Structure 1
Amino acid sequence: MTAGPNAFGSSAMLVAPWRTPIGNAGHGFAALTTTDLAAPVLAATLATLRESGCDADVDDVVLGNCLGPGGDPARVSALRAGLGAQVPGVTVDRQCGSGLDAVMQAAMRVRSGEEELILAGGVESASTAPWRFWPPVSGAEPIRYTRAPFAPSGFPDPDMGVAADALAQACGIGRERQDAYAARSHALAAATDFTGEIVPVAGIERDQRIRPNMTQARLARLRPSFTADGTATAGNSCGVSDGAAVVAVTSDALAKGLPALRVLGSAVAGSDPALPGLGPVPAIEKVLRRTGIALSDIGIVEITEAFASVVLAVSDRLGIDENTLCPQGGAIAMGHPWGASGAVLLVRLARQMLTENGPELGLAACAIGGGQGIAMIVERAW
């Protein structure tokens, strides 16, 4: 299908998708900040546009980020990338959905007709995330925390690994099935050449977590990582990671002549904070209703593989054909740089859909701590 002009007369197109390699936290990118990671990808995206003959001004930079130092990493990264002092920047925090939300916000602004070119995506440096402390009370020592609350007092607020175990139990998804899905992710990623979407950074050219020998038999030997009787392990869960991903969000007029995806629709939704892994379900249902597209018509579904139980639970609830899920592997094999992962999904969709005979429609979705989901549907433009 082809989307016609919206109420404002313009489409939002995604072009020039790039990402860094995804690094294991504390390893290849251990000393690199969010700015160090995002700036090269912003520069590569803009360079792709310029090489194509697009000389339009960049209206804004929108980047998702969860655990950076503050100070608006998007603006700092834009300056570092050499975009010029005239290019502003804004940083978005919707936790694991931040990178996808950044692109969603950029797409809405382009569709409105008020903006024509925005660089959007996400970045995360778990390696250099600052230590955070609650201020001391009554003379007590300050208390370090690793994440802010996802929900207020009186609501469930489980850590994500604990929530993944609870989700698996609630949905009847056993360890063997999770390990089988994880083995598939590892094997698919190991068999894929990602070179065409990667901007080398600090001499690193490949994703660091991918292991070609993670068979189901090996995965079965791993112990539970989060609860004593749980089923989520280091092998069927994502790794803590560093990375960045960016796409140019522009009008159909500026995208002419470039390989492009058209944003057909997007949605966010809330869900039970106790089982945040189900967050993508209402978001996907909402965007399908908004666009009138049938799930069966979508050729690729990229869901952030935070945990095998999450992807399988969402797939079971919606009846997704498992063959369309992350067909080149996902975060279980590659890693999950939280604020960037939603944008990584779009880079992955673009690189698969824009090949010869690539699928016409794709869906990206993320589960978000605290019980939220975000989803976007894109189509191959021409």
Structure 2
Amino acid sequence: MTGAPVIVAARRTPIGTAGHALAGCTAADLAAAVIADLAGSLGDVPLREVVLGNCMGPGGDVARVAALQAGLPVTVPGLTVDRQCGSGLAAIVLAVAQLRAGETGAVLAGGVESASTAPWRMWPPRGDAAPVRYERAPFAPADVGDPDMGPAAELVAREAGIDRVAQDAYAARSHARAVATQQAGGFAAELVPVAGLDADERPRATLTVERLGRLRSAFEPGGAVTVGNSCGINDGAAAVTVVDAGTHRELGVPGLRVLATATAGVDPRRPGLGIVAAARQALDRAGLGLDDVDVVEFNEAFAGQVLACCAELELDPERVCREGGALALGHPWGASGAVLAVRLFSQLVRGGAGRTGLAAIAVGGGQGVAMVVETC
């Protein structure tokens, strides 16, 4: 694995609640802030490309727009990818593949989402009917199964036997961990302030199990999934600098060697389980088991979904997102997979929390993306 690409820097914006502190920032605004910060530390390393994931932005090539807005030379191309919630991590997977294939230098890769400024989307009119606004494009064909993420999370949790109490307890723990990390300055080194915001907006010290228990079911009558044990709707960007092995040797800086990546498909009716399939594949390719992993970062879209994945993997939930996850920090869709990579970098490289890390995220439509790294 000594020839594998290496992540040598990782940064993100604070994550804002949609309609609040970052509401005036477009996707390009958010991404440009992170890109400019990472590009400023490259020195003489040639920058080959910018790859960004995005789900709900203005369309076109957001990566190219953000790269130019960040002041990069016009000679640096940009590529925007869409694997829905997995887009940010998928962008990093593409960067790693590009460098494995023989490219040299650096690729900036990550993701961005501005739910606040996402354009309205309309199906064109049929006959005399008016155009119909829709919240999301299809994740899968209707006859295969195309549930909204909330009802899908209810199904996954119910089938795994994860009750409301367990989901609320997990959500409360995520907030408590994020607040503790925030208060200890544990996020400070990874943050690029934007629009006057220098801290994540969502973590709440007062979000206890008791308070969560008073919330109503969000998606099904009598269901266990609520707005309290689900992620928020958020704005933010995150990216990493990936270099080839030779460039890393020349730089001589600490980083995260990418041991393996994986992208998997699962039942579209149970999209949250994409974490399981992708994590297993990535670990197998890295020649590791979960017991060999020091830091585990799963995207916490829903507490019940994460707990169901942990049960399937026979993984102690206490090991997941030890500094708080998306339930507390937020889930800026296209950026969230890249946020996981930033969190691994902070804990393993900056914080010395161990040697190996696993990041994994589930995707609407029944997919999962995962990455295994080690310090070097």
Per-residue Cα deviation, 1:183-204 (whole angstroms, up to 9, x for no partner) = 1100000001211110000110
In 2, distance between residues paired with 1:300 and 1:320?
Answer: 12
Native 8 Å contact 1:99 1:341 kept in 2: yes
- Check 1:357–1:195 CA distance in 2 against 1; reply closer, same or farther (3 A cut): closer
* 1:356 shift after superposition: 5.2
1:295 aligns with 2:290: yes
1:98 aligns with 2:87: yes
Partner of 2:256: 261
- Structure 2 letter corresponding to 1:296: D
Native 8 Å contact 1:209 1:333 kept in 2: yes
In 2, distance between residues paired with 1:285 and 1:167?
Answer: 18
* 1:319 shift after superposition: 1.1
1:4 aligns with 2:2: yes
Per-residue Cα deviation, 1:299-338 (whole angstroms, up to 9, x for no partner) = 1110000000111111110111323210000000010000
Native 8 Å contact 1:16 1:49 kept in 2: no
Native 8 Å contact 2:175 2:327 kept in 1: yes
Identify which range, 338-347 or 229-238, moves more after superposition: 229-238
* Structure 1 unmatched ranges of 5 or more: 6-10
* 1:153 shift after superposition: 2.9
1:45 aligns with 2:34: no
Give the length in aligned residue pairs.
Answer: 370
Per-residue Cα deviation, 1:21-46 (whole angstroms, up to 9, x for no partner) = 00000111111100110001001111
Q: What TM-score do the two structures reach when normalised by structure 1?
A: 0.95
Instruction: Give runs of ≥4 in structure 1 deviating > 4 Å.
Output: none
Partner of 2:48: 59
**From 139, 148, 164, the counterpart of 1:150:** 139
1:285 aligns with 2:280: yes
Partner of 2:271: 276
Native 8 Å contact 2:298 2:361 kept in 1: yes
In 2, distance between residues paired with 1:196 and 1:138?
Answer: 55
Secondary structure of the 1:354 match is: helix
**From 310, 313, 333, the counterpart of 1:315:** 310
* Structure 2 unmatched ranges of 5 or more: none
Per-residue Cα deviation, 1:157-213 (whole angstroms, up to 9, x for no partner) = 111011111111111100000011111100000001211110000110000001111
Secondary structure of the 2:41 match is: helix
- Structure 2 letter corresponding to 1:221: R
In 2, distance between residues paired with 1:225 and 1:323?
Answer: 25
In 1, distance between residues paired with 2:244 and 2:316?
Answer: 32
In 1, distance between residues paired with 2:59 and 2:351?
Answer: 41
Partner of 1:379: 374
**From 331, 336, 361, the counterpart of 2:331:** 336
In 2, distance between residues paired with 1:119 and 1:355?
Answer: 19
Identity across aligned pairs (percent)?
Answer: 55
Partner of 2:244: 251
- Structure 1 letter corresponding to 2:93: M
Secondary structure of the 1:48 match is: coil
* 1:141 shift after superposition: 0.4
Native 8 Å contact 2:178 2:324 kept in 1: yes
1:73 aligns with 2:66: no
